Structures are given as structure tokens and as C-alpha cells.
């Protein structure tokens, strides 16, 4: 009978060196492989399923097996030709920091559990606030992504508004609580609706404000009742990339005493880019903001932040009581729904340090430039672009056969784009969100899109 070896018996260096070889083998292969797996590669994945063996397997064998059997079944989102959803790649420094962080294996919820985890989060948080030009006194919670950031921001809004009315929602719940009104745009992101449903605020009990032709909330239609209100604005419409007119809407909402939460999952990064900053003007007047790090900052999954002007309110909304955690025990967990978690600040810090302010701005601007090149190229080939390409998102209308054309482009496997339903129309949706995308990637992808489309029109 074979016993599990202790760490000192395993040649950790050769295991990790072997793993690094698998990693670089994978990454250098991205350039030439299809963006989505072929049928054959999907069949290989079947080799991964069998009864768990009785006997242990050597770690280097496990890794070799994972690489040879699993790597072909990935979607090449780490490469430069994936334009589906809004998916960032992984910056080299962030990827490498992710490896170091795995060796550290920190539980970053508590300061006593990870001084470095807390420190890196605090510094990365300051850098993010500076880049996005948000109030420096704000608290920042590192969460899995914008969905949880929206949840945390809205939980803080709920806490603050109900506290003002003398209601302790954390203790007494929503049964019998004073009513809150929630205002969203007609093109609100589904994750806001999910957060509202988790918070007992109801995903359908919302006032929907009409939007303009780009999906932005209309200031002239920004009307709601005079009662305690949470207003959810959006920086980065998931289809068009458009940003709500913050400078007009936030003062109007504030006038009525509302809490303003901004879902800025990807679009708020415009505030860090010299040529796009003007689109977000006035966004710093809000109370809370959600931003993804795994999308446009190109930090590995999963990573996002909630930023809130009033850190004490987030702490109150997220408070937790345990005998082994005296109230006020310092630590990043105070600003998030979770307790134990990975040290997300490590990759965020590494990504930001490797880019510098200039690099962040360039990353955003480069993606936007690529989006414009695709839009112009498709337009010149005779296809219709549905949105004003103000950021990194492009919507394409190929006519009645749009859906078949999207399928054909996906099957060509040079790039990947998804479909969407937007303002009553089926459209192809392009999102350029990766540092890895080159001019050559854009030209190859454009050619693939045009070739596929021309077969149908």
C-alpha cells in the first residue's frame, strides 16, 4: 500500500518547474490554436471522468494528465481573439503573482491571518480609487466580481436608508420594514436584479427609467416618487458600452435624498483612460460603485471590488458576530459578505504595478481603438453597426441571417463573438477587453467575420 508523501519527500521544485513548462506551453500555443475546442478536443475531455482510484497518484503525473487532457478543452479567453461577453485576459504580472499567491496560500479575511494580504489590498484599493478618481476615504471590499460588488453596495444602501428610518434590517429583516423604492434603467444589468432579489428588495419591484438609443438613462424621464430610494446607475452598458449621464442624474437623485449605486463592472475603467475620462464625469458624486478587476484590468478570475464612500456603513451592513472574532476585529472581511477567501489584492497589486497609470490608460484606449477598427472594417464591408462605438463594445446587424452568421463565425474558430437581443433586434456583440489583443488579431478576426458573413448575404 502506497502512502501519501509528505511535502519534504516531494521534489517541489521539479513539480513546479514542470507546471511552469505546461503553463508556458499552453500560453505560447494560444496564437495558433482555435479559440474554441474542436469536437475532437471535447471528446478528449471524456478521459477525465472515471471512478476515483484507491491509490494516490504522483503530483507531477496529476499535472501532466491535467495539461495533456484538459488544456485542449479550454476556451482561449487568455488569448487575443476572444470577443464574447466582456472577458479580460490575464496580464503576465498578474498571472505570475497568482502563482506566488498560490504558494502563499493566504486566507485574506483577517489581518492576523495575512498581514501581506491585507496590506496589498489596502494599497491596491488606494491605487484603484486614484485611477478611477473616486473619493479617497471610501472603503473597498475585494469580492468575486461585480455581481457580489453590486450585492454589497446595495446591502449597504439598504442598511443606511433603513437605519435613518429607525429600522435595523440586519437584526429584524425585511418583514414589516419601511418600504424602499429602487430605481433602475430599462437596460439594467441582470446582476443588479439578482442582488435586489437576494436582498429581499425584489427584482421586479423596481421603477424602470426609459433609456435613449444607446441604452443610457434619459435625464428628461428620470422621475420617481418622493420616498426612501436607491438609484442604480450604469457605467458601461453591456451591449453598447454607453455610460449613463452621471453629471446630470446623480445631482437629481441626491436632491431627493436617494442613495446612488453605480454598476461600473467594466465601463468605470473609462475614468482611468485619458481619452475616455470625460464619459464618466460626475460619477464620483455617487455613494457606492462596483468594478470588476477580472474584466478590463485583466486580473485572473475571480476578482472585483465594491467601493463605498462610507466605510462604516459597509461594515455595519456586513457585520458578523462570533465569539472568536471580537467586534471590530480588523481585516478585509469587514467590507465583504464572505469570511475566508483568497488574497485577491495580490494579483490586483501586481497588475497595477506592472502597468502604472500610463499602462492602465493605454490598455483601455487600445481596446477601444481595436473596437473602432472592427466596427469600421465591418461597416466598410457593407454591414450595419447598431451602436455608437464609444468604448469597447460593438453591435453588428447582419440582417435577417444574423444568427446563422454568428454561428458560422464561431465555427470558423478564428475568434469568438456572441449574440444578443438589443432594442428589439438580434445582433452580434463584440467586446474587446484583453491586453493580449494585437492589431494582427483584429485583422485576422475581421477577415473571418467578413468571410463568414459574405456566405449568407
Where along the sequence are the contacts to ligand PLP (CB under 6 A)?
86, 145-147, 189, 191, 236, 238, 263, 265-266, 292, 304
Question: Closest distance between ligand PLP and the C-beta of residue 140, in Å?
Answer: 16
DSSP track, 207-233: EEEPB-TTSPBPGGG----SSSEEEEE
- The residue (of 114 and 298) whose beta carbon lies closer to ligand PLP is 298
- The residue (of 189 and 216) whose beta carbon lies closer to ligand PLP is 189
For residue 401, with 0-12 CB atoms within 10 Å meaning exposed, 13-18 middle and 19 or more buried, which class applies?
Answer: middle
- The residue (of 429 and 452) whose beta carbon lies closer to ligand PLP is 429
Question: Closest distance between ligand PLP and the C-beta of residue 266, in Å?
Answer: 5
Question: Closest distance between ligand PLP and the C-beta of residue 146, in Å?
Answer: 3
* Strands of the sheet with 384-385, listed across from one edge: 384-385, 393-397, 425-431, 418-422
- 118 with 111: CB under 8 angstroms? yes
Element (H, E) at 102: helix 92-104
Question: Closest distance between ligand PLP and the C-beta of residue 300, in Å?
Answer: 13
List the alpha helices (DSSP H) in 190-310: 190-198, 246-255
Question: Closest distance between ligand PLP and the C-beta of residue 41, in Å?
Answer: 26
Long-range contacts of 400-407 (CB under 8 A, 24+ apart): 401/456, 401/457, 402/426, 402/427, 402/428, 404/456, 405/452, 405/453, 405/456
- The residue (of 110 and 394) whose beta carbon lies closer to ligand PLP is 394
CA distances from 292 to 271, 274, 353 (A): 14, 19, 17
- The residue (of 181 and 191) whose beta carbon lies closer to ligand PLP is 191
User: How would you classify the pairing of strands 139-143 and 304-308?
Assistant: antiparallel
φ/ψ bin of 256: left (φ > 0), alpha (ψ from -120 to 50), beta (otherwise): alpha
Give the residue from 248, 356, 261 showing the smallest Cα distance to 307.
Answer: 261
Element (H, E) at 397: strand 393-397
- The residue (of 228 and 236) whose beta carbon lies closer to ligand PLP is 236
- The residue (of 91 and 453) whose beta carbon lies closer to ligand PLP is 91
Which residue has its beta carbon closest to ligand PLP? 145
Question: Closest distance between ligand PLP and the C-beta of residue 190, in Å?
Answer: 8
* 423 phi/psi in degrees, rounded to 5: 45, 50
Residue 160 CA, chain-centre distance (Å), reads 26
- The residue (of 266 and 416) whose beta carbon lies closer to ligand PLP is 266
Question: Closest distance between ligand PLP and the C-beta of residue 85, in Å?
Answer: 7
- The residue (of 238 and 350) whose beta carbon lies closer to ligand PLP is 238
Question: Closest distance between ligand PLP and the C-beta of residue 219, in Å?
Answer: 20
Question: Closest distance between ligand PLP and the C-beta of residue 37, in Å?
Answer: 22
Amino acid at each position: 500500500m502506497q502512502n501519501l508523501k509528505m511535502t519534504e519527500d516531494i521534489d517541489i521544485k521539479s513539480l513546479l518547474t514542470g507546471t511552469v513548462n505546461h503553463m508556458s506551453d499552453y500560453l505560447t500555443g494560444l496564437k495558433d490554436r482555435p479559440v474554441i475546442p474542436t469536437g475532437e478536443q471535447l471528446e478528449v475531455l471524456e478521459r477525465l471522468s472515471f471512478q476515483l482510484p484507491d491509490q494516490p497518484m504522483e503530483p507531477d503525473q496529476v499535472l501532466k494528465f491535467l495539461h495533456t487532457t484538459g488544456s485542449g478543452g479550454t476556451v482561449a479567453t487568455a488569448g487575443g481573439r476572444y470577443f464574447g461577453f466582456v472577458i479580460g485576459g490575464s496580464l503576465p504580472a498578474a498571472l505570475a503573482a497568482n502563482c506566488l499567491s498560490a504558494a502563499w496560500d493566504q486566507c485574506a479575511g483577517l489581518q492576523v491571518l495575512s498581514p501581506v494580504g491585507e496590506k496589498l489590498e489596502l494599497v491596491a484599493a488606494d491605487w484603484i480609487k486614484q485611477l478611477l478618481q473616486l473619493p479617497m476615504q471610501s472603503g473597498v471590499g475585494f469580492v468575486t466580481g461585480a455581481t457580489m460588488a453590486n450585492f454589497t453596495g446595495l446591502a449597504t444602501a439598504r442598511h443606511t436608508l433603513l437605519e435613518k428610518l429607525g429600522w435595523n434590517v440586519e437584526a429584524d429583516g425585511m418583514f414589516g420594514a419601511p418600504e424602499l423604492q429602487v430605481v433602475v434603467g430599462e437596460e439594467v444589468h441582470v446582476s443588479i436584479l439578482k442582488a435586489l432579489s437576494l436582498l429581499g428588495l425584489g427584482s421586479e419591484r423596481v421603477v424602470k427609467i426609459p433609456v435613449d438609443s444607446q441604452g443610457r438613462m434619459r435625464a428628461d424621464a428620470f422621475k420617481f416618487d418622493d420616498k426612501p430610494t436607491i438609484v442604480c446607475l450604469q457605467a458601461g452598458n453591456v451591449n453598447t458600452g454607453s455610460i449613463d449621464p452621471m453629471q446630470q442624474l446623480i445631482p437629481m437623485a441626491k436632491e431627493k435624498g436617494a442613495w446612488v449605486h453605480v454598476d461600473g463592472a467594466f465601463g468605470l475603467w473609462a475614468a482611468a483612460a485619458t481619452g475616455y475620462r470625460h464619459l464618466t464625469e460626475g460619477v464620483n458624486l455617487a455613494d457606492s460603485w462596483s468594478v470588476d478587476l477580472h474584466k478590463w484590468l485583466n486580473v485572473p478570475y475571480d476578482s472585483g471590488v465594491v467601493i463605498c464612500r462610507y466605510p462604516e456603513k459597509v461594515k455595519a451592513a456586513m457585520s458578523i458576530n462570533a465569539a472568536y472574532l471580537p467586534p471590530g476585529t480588523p481585516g478585509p472581511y469587514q467590507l465583504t459578505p464572505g469570511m475566508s477567501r483568497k488574497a485577491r489584492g495580490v494579483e490586483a497589486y501586481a497588475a497595477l504595478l506592472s502597468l502604472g497609470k500610463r499602462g492602465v490608460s493605454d490598455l483601455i484606449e487600445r481596446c477601444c481603438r481595436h473596437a473602432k477598427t472592427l466596427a469600421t472594417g465591418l461597416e466598410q464591408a457593407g454591414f450595419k453597426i447598431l451602436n455608437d462605438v464609444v468604448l469597447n463594445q460593438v453591435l453588428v446587424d447582419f440582417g435577417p441571417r444574423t444568427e446563422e452568421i454568428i454561428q458560422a463565425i464561431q465555427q470558423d474558430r478564428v475568434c469568438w463573438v456572441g449574440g444578443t437581443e438589443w432594442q428589439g433586434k438580434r445582433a452580434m456583440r463584440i467586446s474587446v477587453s484583453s491586453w493580449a489583443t494585437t492589431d494582427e488579431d483584429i485583422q485576422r478576426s475581421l477577415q473571418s467575420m467578413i468571410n463568414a458573413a459574405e456566405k449568407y448575404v
